């Protein structure tokens, strides 16, 4: 029902020289705990989620709070194809040709006040269509957050599709976030609210286990997860592991955001 073709241009921000992960794997191997903890659960169960009509409430420390219809969001900026590496905190990775535009385009429209220091993203929590909500793994609804400068970074992408088609439900339809230098869970799926805050928001995984999942969660091969190593990853489709790159290989673009910060403390 939601497989529409998107018109897009190729983004200069795309990662070059990487082989794309197959559409089958990108849409069949997902973590979306609202539909279950197995990676095949989202593809099996997310079809029940209704993605039309869909509105996103944009509120908090902004001059122009607004509730936008997804159709209007699609017109905020030209849709681009952005090929990014996608690194899961579980030490596997993919390369995905996302379709979307920089989150900054939306942020500029609502004019954050000087008090806006953080952005919080809230995902849909609909117990009728999301069996995973019954289990108390995370403090639902799923929430994620970014510092304002991270949110404004051109690489931070509001995603509406992949491989030139509108997002499938299991990938976070109709609107999700992708922050390519951070672990995948920072990219909230099926977003219903974007809130601008003065203080750092409580986020789902960080709340569930603060010693293991940091607020920043930048991909960092030198800071291991307490229970497994982050030094290497298995690219989906490969047999053996490859070294993980600092900031997932986007250090040139984003390292300056964290200048002077101890990344072992602010992991």
Site residues for other proteins per CB under 8 A: 24-25, 28-29, 33, 37, 39-40, 90, 92, 135, 137-138, 208-209, 224, 227-229, 232, 234, 236-237, 239-241
DSSP classification of residue 192: E
**Between 115 and 232, CB nearer to other proteins:** 232
CB of 76 to other proteins, least distance (A): 32
**Between 28 and 164, CB nearer to other proteins:** 28
**Between 228 and 266, CB nearer to other proteins:** 228
Closest CA to 216 of 253, 254, 252, 245: 254
Beta bridge partners of 58: 66, 194
Give the CA diameter of the chain.
Answer: 51
CB of 28 to other proteins, least distance (A): 6
**Between 232 and 264, CB nearer to other proteins:** 232
Give the other-Cβ count within 10 Å of 7's Cβ.
8
CB of 91 to other proteins, least distance (A): 9
CB of 227 to other proteins, least distance (A): 6
DSSP classification of residue 163: T
Whether 190 contacts 124, CB under 8 Å: yes
CB of 240 to other proteins, least distance (A): 5
Q: What are phi and psi of 110, to 5 degrees?
A: -95, 0
**Between 41 and 150, CB nearer to other proteins:** 41
Whether 238 contacts 157, CB under 8 Å: no
């Amino acid at each position: 029902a939601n497989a529409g073709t998107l018109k897009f241009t190729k983004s200069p921000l795309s990662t070059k020289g990487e082989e794309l992960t197959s559409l089958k794997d990108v849409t069949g191997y997902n973590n979306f705990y609202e539909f279950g903890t197995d990676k095949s659960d989202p593809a099996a169960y997310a079809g029940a989620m209704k993605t039309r009509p869909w509105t996103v409430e944009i509120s908090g420390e902004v001059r122009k709070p607004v509730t936008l219809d997804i159709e209007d969001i699609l017109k905020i900026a030209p849709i681009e194809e952005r090929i990014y590496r996608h690194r899961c905190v579980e030490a596997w990775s993919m390369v995905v040709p996302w379709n979307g535009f920089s989150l900054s385009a939306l942020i500029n429209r609502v004019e954050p006040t000087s008090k806006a220091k953080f952005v919080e993203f809230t995902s849909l929590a609909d117990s009728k269509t999301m069996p995973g909500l019954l289990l108390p793994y995370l403090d639902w609804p799923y929430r994620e957050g970014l510092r304002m400068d991270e949110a404004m970074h051109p690489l931070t992408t509001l995603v509406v599709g992949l491989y030139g088609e509108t997002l499938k439900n299991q990938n976070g339809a109709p609107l999700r976030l992708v922050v390519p230098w951070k672990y995948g869970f920072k990219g909230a799926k099926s977003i219903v609210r974007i809130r601008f805050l003065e203080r750092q928001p409580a986020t789902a995984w960080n709340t569930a286990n603060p010693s293991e999942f940091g607020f920043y969660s930048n991909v960092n091969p030198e800071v291991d997860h307490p229970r497994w190593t982050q030094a290497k990853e298995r690219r989906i489709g490969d047999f053996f592991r490859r070294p993980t790159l600092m900031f997932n290989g986007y250090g040139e673009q984003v390292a300056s955001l964290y200048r002077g910060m101890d990344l072992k403390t602010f992991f």
